Amino acid sequence: MVVVRIDDEGIWKVLNHVADHYHDLVPLRRRHLIRSQREVPTNDVTLLSKLKDSCIGLTSDFGVLKDQAQSVPNLSYTITDARNKVAAHERVK
C-alpha cells in the first residue's frame, strides 16, 4: 500500500509505503498477462492490419508472430490486445 499527498504545487510526496502483499506475486512465466506489462508494438499492428486486409485471419497472424517470438510470453501481449490495437488502427485510417 502506498499513501501519497499532492502539495499545493502539484508535487506528489510518498507519506507511507508498505511492501507486504496479501497475495502471492505473479510468477515470471505469467507476467506477460499483467495489463500494465502488455504493449503491442506499432510494427506488429501495421503487419497484422495489412495481413487482415489480405483476408488472413488474426488468429493465424498471431500464430506467426508467436512462432517468430518463439513463445507467447515473448510477445508481451495477448491476441485480445492485438485485436483491439488493430481495430483502433483501422478506425484511424
Using one digit for the tens of pLDDT, what is the confidence trace for 57-77?
777 777 777 777 776 556 778
Instruction: Name the most confidently modeled range: 49-53, 55-59, 74-78.
Output: 49-53
pLDDT band at 84 (very low <50, low <70, confident <90, very high): very high
* 48 backbone dihedrals φ, ψ, rounded to 5°: -65, -40
Over 90: is that where the pLDDT of 9 sits? yes
Total length of the chain? 93
* pTM attached to this predicted model: 0.58
Domain ranges of the chain: 24-92
